[in-house]
Structure 1
Amino acid sequence: MQLIVASYPDQAGRWPETGRHIMAQFDDRSVVVYQAFRPEIARFAAEHGYFGDEFSYTRMSWVKTSFLWMMYRSNWGTNENQEAIVAVWLRRDAFLHILANAVHASFPQGVYSSRETWQVLINNSDVRVQWDPDHDPAGEKVERRAIQLGIRGAFLRQYGRGGWIERVEDITPFVAEQRQIVQARNFAALRTPLERPFPVLDPAVHDRLQMDTPGRPSVS
């Protein structure tokens, strides 16, 4: 497995406890995002490095950067049609392009000039952003918020088969191993992907997304 993993307790002690942060595994070239699918979709993507015809290009597809948020949403890979978990190495410039074009899924105060302006933007945008409570391995909410990005239309075609993806890895066996540890409540032995807050250096994008940065006051 090419995904870098580390001790969950060690990582959790270093993570921000509150605020909106893009917790992710990343380097200078790429950012890892997660999705859950039926096994045949995951298998094709891992073998070919892009998403094939079984993947729906006609609706919005949501990606998550937080592994534990993905585990919560998929119930550790046991929900129907979410039995297979993939890690997608998305080009860093593509990820930043997605963030720069994201519109909030619900109207936030203090970001757009008016609800009407937001409504026009969201009707014409191919990218949604949503902040939800992150979760611990047992599925309990934590104060920190996790990001979800919904993509559709031209953005989804670029993501799925247009060259934005560097590689795809089916991490379902790893998820199954860690699920057993969670079910045994042996959290001291749990290993999760190595994650840290992803920096968004463009102040306009940072503030429009209502992100928090250590050492900076919250924007909302």
Structure 2
Amino acid sequence: MLRIEIDRAGFEWAPAHAALSHFRPGVQADRDQWRAEVADCPVRVRWDPDRSIRLEAQPWRAIQVGLSGEAVDRYVDHWIVDMADVTELARSTHSAVLDGRTEEALRQLPA
């Protein structure tokens, strides 16, 4: 499992060049306008339910960002500033959750 850090410029470029992953009445005039936006934008966004450490649905949403075309090239060639293997941290956190050591697991998560 990788933790990937991107620079601020990439973080801001992505949503500025994004289209919603699905049609929303009131956001787009009609499905044709939405289809045109999706065709023109290299980034897709959607809101998904956020989950607790025990995978329970939370009352707020988390944004999911999908990259394609130009956005992938920018991500790979320019935005990435750091990568780290966090596989062992993920395993340790998962084990703590399974063992009922929730507070320990929460301390292992990023702020």
- TM-based fold match above 0.5: yes
- In the other structure, the counterpart of 1:146 is 62
In the other structure, the counterpart of 1:193 is 110
**TM-score, with length taken from structure 2:** 0.91
SS at match of 1:163: helix
Counterpart in 1 of 2:97? 182
TM-score for the superposition, normalised by structure 1:
0.48
Structure 2 distance, partners of 1:185, 1:144, is: 24
Aligned counterpart for 1:115 among listed residues 31, 45, 48: 31
Q: Shift of residue 87 of structure 1? A: 1.1
Counterpart in 1 of 2:50? 134
Q: Percent identity?
A: 28
Which blocks of at least 5 consecutive residues in structure 2 are unaligned?
none
Q: Report matched runs for 1:16-27 at 5 Å.
A: none
The root-mean-square deviation of aligned C-alpha atoms, in Å, is 1.1
Q: Which runs of 5+ in 1 are unaligned?
A: 1-84, 195-220
In the alignment of these two chains, the number of paired residues is 109
- In structure 2, the partner of 1:88 is 4
Deviates more, 1:185-194 or 1:174-183: 185-194
Higher helix share: 2
Counterpart amino acid of residue 65 in structure 2:
L
